Amino acid sequence: MNPQAQYVLSGLRPTGRIHLGNYFGAIRNWVRLQDQYRSYCFIADWHALTSDYADPSNIRKATFDAVADLLAAGIDPEKATVFIQSEIKEHAELHLLLSMTTPLPWLERVPTFKDQQQQLQDKDLNTYGFLGYPLLQTADIIIYRANFVPVGEDQASHLELSREIVRRFNNFYGPVFPEPQPLFTETPKVPGLDGRKMSKSYGNTIGLTASADEIRALVMTMFTDPNRIRRKDPGNPDICNLFQFHKLMSPPETVTRVDHECRTAQIGCVDDKKLLAEIMIEQLRPIRERRERYDREPSYVWDVLREGNRKARERAGETLAMVRQAMKIDYPEFR
């Protein structure tokens, strides 16, 4: 790693097992980034509480699962610092300090604030914590003085807010923080089993570490070209979900062959599903096997986190010392 390397921070809210949409949409890219940047990767368990405060019973397991899946996917603790947000108390102190300078309307106008309140009607999200979601996220980022954050479309407005908060801070107190830049990478659109975007809330996902039998069963339920009704009808791969997955996972010669044989009705959708399922099983095998190891030996995962937490705390502590000094809330007498 180049000693001048810049810092990248990637965060994930613990919502359970990682699925292929998360993997191809984000995680695979994080795995690449760990070779180019000083990479920090964490699970935002406090963020889970902003919406699930009434029933936090799943958060601990979802956090473990997310970390184990990240490691299985190729996040390498030798390269990336992997940690849990709530173990780095400095995030909370920085969040508090930033709350002093953040105008309320900046938070109220973040599009996800109103959107999520609308969409999750069964939860009361008119809380202080939920309003502060993007501010806590800002603290997560800038406490590592991160230069880059890989973001999807949905998070772009949060990062814009983070940049405004940084500018305001640096204006008042001096240049402590770099402005974090979004790292947009071209991410393929990953359809779910039903053709809508793959998402846990639609129940249309395939787990990154699904078993061979699960993969076979799930692929069988996938929607294909809706106009191909009979076996002898020629198909159109351009509007078939299966084909999207071939493009993501199959060797190029297979993609070409399937494209041809579907258009000429040489293979049917069921044949193609069987083929795709076997390819998927093979492609995901190393990931699945690593994950099985972590389930047999969860202490490995906790050990990785213990070390990651330690390293994260070190960097966060340095930043916070700078912040306290800049904000004149600093008592060297006690150190």
Which residues lie near ligand TRP (CB under 6 A)?
9, 11-13, 44, 47, 137, 140-141, 149, 155
177-197 burial: b if 16+ Cβ within 10 Å, else e: bbebebbeeeeeebbbbebee
Would strands 80-84 and 7-12 be described as parallel, antiparallel, or unpaired? unpaired
Token pair in block for residue 219:
């692929």
Cross-strand pairs, 12: 43
Q: How many CB atoms lie within 10 A of CB 232?
A: 8
H/E stretch holding 53 reads none
Q: Shortest gap between Cβ of 44 and ligand TRP (angstroms)?
A: 4
**Nearest residue relative to ligand TRP (C-beta):** 11
The nearer residue to ligand TRP, 268 or 308, going by C-beta atoms, is 308
The nearer residue to ligand TRP, 144 or 245, going by C-beta atoms, is 144
Q: Shortest gap between Cβ of 174 and ligand TRP (angstroms)?
A: 24
The nearer residue to ligand TRP, 12 or 193, going by C-beta atoms, is 12
The nearer residue to ligand TRP, 7 or 294, going by C-beta atoms, is 7
Q: Shortest gap between Cβ of 10 and ligand TRP (angstroms)?
A: 6
User: Comparing C-alpha atoms, which of 131, 142, 181 is closest to residue 165?
Assistant: 142
Task: Name, in order, each residue with C-beta under 8 angstroms of 135's C-beta and a sequence gap of 6 or more.
Answer: 95, 98, 99, 102, 107, 161, 165
Q: Shortest gap between Cβ of 68 and ligand TRP (angstroms)?
A: 17
The nearer residue to ligand TRP, 13 or 17, going by C-beta atoms, is 13
24-60 burial: b if 16+ Cβ within 10 Å, else e: bbbbbbbbebbeebbbbbbbbbbbbebbbeeeeeebe
Q: Shortest gap between Cβ of 141 and ligand TRP (angstroms)?
A: 5
The nearer residue to ligand TRP, 200 or 257, going by C-beta atoms, is 200
Instruction: Beginning with the edge strand found earlier in the chain, give each strand of the sheet holding 148-150 in spatial order.
Output: 80-84, 38-43, 7-12, 148-150, 181-183
Give the C-alpha separation, 223 to 205, whole Å: 13
The nearer residue to ligand TRP, 150 or 192, going by C-beta atoms, is 150
The nearer residue to ligand TRP, 119 or 227, going by C-beta atoms, is 119
Q: Shortest gap between Cβ of 298 and ligand TRP (angstroms)?
A: 23
Token pair in block for residue 87:
């173990």
DSSP for 249-287, please give it. HS-HHHHHHHHHHHHTTSS-HHHHHHHHHHHHHHHHHHH
Amino acid symbol at 117: Q
